[in-house]
Structures are given as C-alpha cells and as structure tokens.
C-alpha cells in the first residue's frame, strides 16, 4: 500500500512537471523570448559557418585528392610505358630484321614476352589484330583463343579497343580485369603498342586498386575530419548556448530577486505613505475639526440653555460664536479636501492649483512664497499635472518641516524640450552625501513619480552662509499635448 501511494505520487509529480515544462516551451515568457531572440542569431551564424567550413574543406580536399590520384595514375602510366619500351628494346633486334611471315622470329619474341612477368600480377599480353591471344603467361587458358568483342563487367570493350589503339600506334586503356593472384575483378590501366608488320597488339597493364584504395581512404579521412569539425563546432556552440542560457538564467534570477525586493520595498513604502496620510488626516480631524466641532456643540448647548431660561439676549453671543466656529470647521474641511485632491487642479489647471498651494502655504506658515509661471502653448497631460502638483506639495512640506527657510520661490514654465518646475528656498540645506539625500521618503516619492513619466529630478543643496536647496523637475515633450484652438480661453498653465 505504501509503495502504491508513493508510485502514484511520483507519477502525478512527473506528469505535472512534464506539463509545466511543455507549457514553458510552448508559451515562453518575456525573458525566455529574449533569450531565444539573443541565441537565434548565434545558432544561425554558427550553422552558416559550419556549412561554409564543411563545403570549403570538402572542395579543397577533393581537389587535393584528384591531384593525388592523377599523380599516382601518371606514375603508373610512366611505369607501364617504361616496361613496354624496355621489352621492345629487348627483342627489337629480332623484330627489326624479321619478315612479316617469319614464324621463327615470332616464336622467339613470344617466348621472350611470356617470360617477362613482374610483381604479383604483372605480365605482357599479345593479341593479333583479328582478336586471337598469343601471349598471356598468367592466364594461359586465354592463349590461342579469339577474344574479339570481349567486354568487362561494366560493358567496356577490352580486346577490340586494345587492337584499335595498336593499329593507331599506341595508347592507354582502362577496364576491369580479373587479378591473376586472387581471381577478383579490379580496375586495370593498360598500355598497348602496335607491331604493324606482324599485326600484333603488344602491351602490359597494372592494376590500380591500390590507387583507388588510397584515394578512398583519403576521402574517408577527409569526411571524418569534416565530421569531427562539425562535432567541435557543435560542442563550442553548445557551450556558448549553455553559457548564454546560464548567464541569462542567473541574470533573470538576480533581476527577479531585485524586482521582488524593490516591489516589497515599494509596497512597504506605499503602506507607510498610506498610514502617514491617514495619521495626518486623523490628526487634523482630531486636533482641528474635532476641537472646533466640540466648541460649536458647547456654544449651541449654551444657547439652548439660555433660550430655555428665556434669556434671548444672552443667547446671541454663544450662537454667533458657534456659527463662527462652524465656518472655521467648513474651511478646515475644504483645506483637507484640497490637500487630498484639489478641485482647482481639474477645473482650472496646474498653474492656478500651484498658485493656490503656495498662497495657502505662505498664509499657514508665514514663509514668504513667490510663484511665477508663463502661459503654455501646449497643455500637460493628466499624469504630468498630478505628478508636478504632488512633487510641489511634497517639497513645500519638506521645507516647512526641515529647512527653516524664510523665502521660497516656485517657477513653472514650458519650453521646446518639455516643461520645467523649479523650487528654491534659502533654508539650511540638506546634509551632504547621496545616501542621506535618497533616504527620505518624500524625496524617494518625488524621484519615483518623475521616473514614471521618463523625466528627471535634480536636487542641489548647500550649507553655510549661502545655504539653500533647489529642486528642479524636467518633463519631456511627450507629456505636452497639442496646442488648443485660439478661440478657447487661455489658462495660466496646462
């Protein structure tokens, strides 16, 4: 029972693993597609190189082998010609002085040629022009037989062609012939010359199976080398692909871990920002509106008691005070609502929204604030508006909490390369060191907001007598919409 359950578990696991593997192959993710796209040119280039190397190697080797074969055959032919020349010189004193019908001279030459055997299979042969064999010392069964019309296994004429060449004087002929030593058919190259007065075709031949075997061995060696080259190229390609694959996998794992870490960090920052915003709103509701509403309730309760006693004149003062507090509460609610999402940003645009933001900041903190802008020919898109407004809001919050500045300027303008917002204060500046600059949550939020829009954020700060901080935000031209019609009312900004 235990082994059955274990086998079933292993079978299900193997099936799921195989299905997941096939799914990944058939539906690759972005990283796998990128890896395939990167390795495909490499595979094609290596395949083309391998094919070119194989073609060039075979072509070069074939030329060398053909040259070697021709050299070996020429050496064989030169050897055969020497054999025939020496044999002819050996009995030419008989042939030169004999008459065409001198049978005794013919018999002497026949005996001399029959005795001239060399090597394992070398011999001289003599055919009369009518096809009758006179001399064949290694194949005596052919003597005194007429072999006119004889062909080899490939259908090549043998005796008739030898006689034709002899009639012309001399020549070479290649054909298949049984080897005397083994009886097996092999290719022979023969050289034949004609004794015209006796009407004889005299010649000898040499078997070139050793030459063909050498050529075949050379071709086999070339093919083996080409195959080894393919194996080497394949091994190198496989190693390169494995290196690319493993490197891509390692980079993918590393990037995924970094992305997961950044995602966790970003998620935590979002939670922290949400909690901070909730705490701020709760604090303002509790410390501001809640206290004001308590005062309104106390004033209304005091008014109710005085009216119940019939003191109409005394009820007027607490009633007026309660109404004033209620107006203050309404103003605070509007301010909190504007901080969360300013309606003027959607209704009038970014310029008026930033103007209202700086005016409220100056009124609330007592810091002298100056806002300047120019009329945009183009309008910023919605994402750019929100990003610039939130960056300005965050910058003013940091100035209020940390800078100790007495004067702030904000400038917003559009130009041919996009839009730029510049915020400057005369505060104590930011502590030196890039780690400190990037450690604040507000500064990180600014950086991430502008990076989402492919913009840039520069923070310049100094400490000392000429202290202060400059925050410069630049948005690319892609976030500027086409100009509006001239008949439409012009806004202060986008």
Distance CA(68)–CA(379), nearest Å, equals 83
Distance CA(151)–CA(153), nearest Å, equals 7
In this structure, the strands spanning 133-135 and 124-128 are antiparallel
In this structure, the strands spanning 368-373 and 407-415 are parallel
For the stretch 75-130, pLDDT in tens is: 777 877 887 887 777 777 888 788 888 888 888 888 888 888 888 888 899 999 99
Task: Report the pLDDT averaged over residues 452-476.
Answer: 82
The more confident residue out of 278 and 423 is: 423
Instruction: Look at residue 319 and tell me whether its pLDDT is greater than 60.
Output: yes
**Measured between alpha carbons, how far apart are the two ends of the chain, in Å?**
76
- The C-alpha R_g of the chain, in whole angstroms, comes to 54
Distance CA(322)–CA(300), nearest Å, equals 6
Distance CA(141)–CA(458), nearest Å, equals 110
> Nearest-CA neighbor of 462 among 470, 451, 472?
470
Q: Which of 55-59, 89-93, 390-394, 429-433 has the lowest mean pLDDT?
A: 429-433
pLDDT band at 491 (very low <50, low <70, confident <90, very high): very low
Which CATH architecture group holds 349-481? Answer: 2-Layer Sandwich (3.30)
Instruction: Look at residue 133 and tell me whether its pLDDT is greater than 90.
Output: yes
Paired tokens of 28: 């690759």
Greatest Cα-to-Cα distance within the chain, rounded to the nearest angstrom? 181
Instruction: Work out whether the CA dihedral 307, 311, 312, 317 comes out positive or negative.
Output: negative
C-beta neighbour count of 249 within 10 angstroms: 13
Q: Tell me the pLDDT of the chain averaged across its residues.
A: 78
The pLDDT assigned to 151 comes to 92
> Nearest-CA neighbor of 241 among 25, 40, 21?
40
Domain 99-207 and domain 349-481, same fold? Reply is no
The helix or strand, by DSSP H or E, that contains position 219, with its residue range, turns out to be: helix 209-284
Q: Tell me what percent of the residues of the chain surpass a pLDDT of 90.
A: 11
For the stretch 388-419, pLDDT in tens is: 888 888 888 888 888 888 899 999 888 778 88
Q: Which residues are CB-neighbours of 148 under 8 A, at least 6 positions away? A: 130, 131, 159, 160, 163
The pLDDT assigned to 375 comes to 64
Instruction: Look at residue 1 and tell me whether its pLDDT is greater than 60.
Output: no
The more confident residue out of 159 and 450 is: 159
The pLDDT assigned to 488 comes to 41
Q: Which among 23-32, 128-137, 251-260 has the top mean pLDDT? A: 128-137
Residue pointed to by tokens 């192959």: 25
Task: Report the pLDDT averaged over residues 53-68.
Answer: 76
C-beta neighbour count of 202 within 10 angstroms: 26
For the stretch 323-335, pLDDT in tens is: 888 888 787 777 7
Distance CA(285)–CA(277), nearest Å, equals 12
> Nearest-CA neighbor of 153 among 191, 185, 189?
185
Distance CA(212)–CA(68), nearest Å, equals 11
Distance CA(416)–CA(73), nearest Å, equals 84
The pLDDT assigned to 161 comes to 93
pLDDT band at 158 (very low <50, low <70, confident <90, very high): very high
The pLDDT assigned to 435 comes to 46
The pLDDT assigned to 122 comes to 86
The pLDDT assigned to 164 comes to 93
Q: Which of 133-147, 366-380, 479-493 has the lowest mean pLDDT?
A: 479-493
Would you call 175 helix, strand, or coil by DSSP? strand
The pLDDT assigned to 201 comes to 92
Instruction: Work out whether the CA dihedral 485, 491, 493, 494 comes out positive or negative.
Output: negative
The pLDDT assigned to 490 comes to 41
Going by the DSSP 8-state scheme, the letter that residue 490 receives in this structure is P
For the stretch 236-276, pLDDT in tens is: 878 877 787 777 778 778 888 888 888 887 777 777 767 77
Specify the CATH class of 99-207 in words. alpha beta
Distance CA(126)–CA(87), nearest Å, equals 12
For the stretch 173-217, pLDDT in tens is: 999 999 888 888 888 889 999 988 899 999 988 888 777 777 788
pTM for the full model?
Answer: 0.45
Would you call 176 helix, strand, or coil by DSSP? strand
Residue extents of the structural domains in the chain? 99-207, 349-481
The pLDDT assigned to 493 comes to 45
> Angle, nearest 10°, between helix axes 209-284 and 30-97?
170
In this structure, the strands spanning 418-425 and 468-476 are antiparallel
- The strand pairing partners of 421, in sequence order, are 412, 473
Instruction: Say if residues 369 and 408 touch (Cβ distance below 8 Å).
Output: yes
Q: Rounded to whole angstroms, what are the CA distances from 153 to 132, 146, 157, 178?
A: 21, 19, 10, 10
């Amino acid at each position: 029972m235990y082994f059955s359950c274990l086998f079933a578990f292993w079978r299900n696991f193997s099936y799921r693993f195989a299905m997941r593997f096939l799914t990944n192959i058939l539906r690759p993710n972005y990283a796998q597609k990128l890896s395939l796209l990167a390795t495909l040119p490499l595979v094609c280039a290596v395949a083309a190189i391998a094919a070119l190397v194989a073609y060039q190697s075979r072509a070069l080797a074939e030329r060398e082998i053909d040259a070697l074969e021709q050299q070996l055959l020429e050496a064989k032919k030169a050897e055969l010609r020497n054999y025939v020349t020496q044999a002819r010189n050996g009995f030419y004193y008989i042939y030169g002085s004999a008459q065409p019908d001198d049978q005794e001279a013919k018999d002497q030459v026949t005996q001399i040629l029959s005795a001239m055997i060399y090597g394992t299979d070398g011999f001289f042969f003599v055919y009369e022009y009518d096809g009758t064999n006179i001399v064949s010392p290694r194949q005596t069964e052919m003597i005194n037989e007429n072999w006119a019309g004889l062909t080899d296994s490939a259908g090549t004429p043998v005796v008739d062609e030898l006689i034709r060449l002899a009639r012309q004087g001399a020549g070479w002929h290649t054909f298949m012939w049984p080897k005397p030593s083994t009886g097996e058919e092999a290719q022979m190259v023969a050289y034949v010359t004609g004794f015209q007065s006796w009407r004889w075709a005299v010649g000898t031949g040499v078997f070139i199976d050793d030459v063909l075997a050498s050529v075949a061995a050379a071709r086999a060696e070339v093919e083996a080398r080409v195959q080894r080259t393919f194996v080497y190229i394949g091994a190198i390609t496989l190693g390169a692909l494995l290196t690319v694959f493993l490197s891509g996998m390692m980079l993918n794992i590393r990037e995924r871990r970094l992305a997961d870490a950044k995602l966790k960090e970003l998620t935590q920052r979002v939670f922290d920002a949400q909690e901070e915003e909730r705490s701020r709103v709760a604090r303002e509701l509790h410390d501001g509106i809640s206290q004001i509403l308590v005062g309104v309730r106390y004033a209304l309760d005091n008014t109710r008691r005085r009216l119940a006693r019939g003191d109409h004149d005394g009820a007027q003062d607490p009633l007026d005070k309660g109404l004033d507090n209620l107006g203050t509460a309404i103003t605070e609610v509007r301010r909190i609502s504007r901080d969360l999402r300013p309606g003027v940003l959607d209704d009038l645009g970014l310029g008026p929204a930033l103007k209202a933001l700086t005016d409220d900041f100056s009124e609330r903190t007592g810091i002298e604030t100056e806002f300047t802008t120019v009329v945009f020919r183009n309008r910023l898109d919605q994402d750019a508006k929100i990003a610039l407004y939130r960056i300005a809001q965050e910058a003013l919050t940091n100035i209020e909490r940390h800078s100790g500045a007495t004067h702030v300027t904000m400038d917003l303008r559009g130009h041919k390369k996009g839009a730029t917002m510049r915020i400057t204060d005369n505060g104590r500046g930011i502590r030196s060191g890039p780690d400190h600059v990037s450690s604040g949550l507000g500064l990180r939020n600014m950086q991430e907001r502008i990076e989402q829009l492919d913009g840039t954020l520069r923070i310049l700060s100094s400490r000392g007598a000429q202290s202060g901080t400059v925050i410069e935000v630049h948005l690319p031209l892609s976030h500027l919409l086409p100009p509006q019609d001239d008949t439409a009312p012009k806004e202060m900004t986008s």
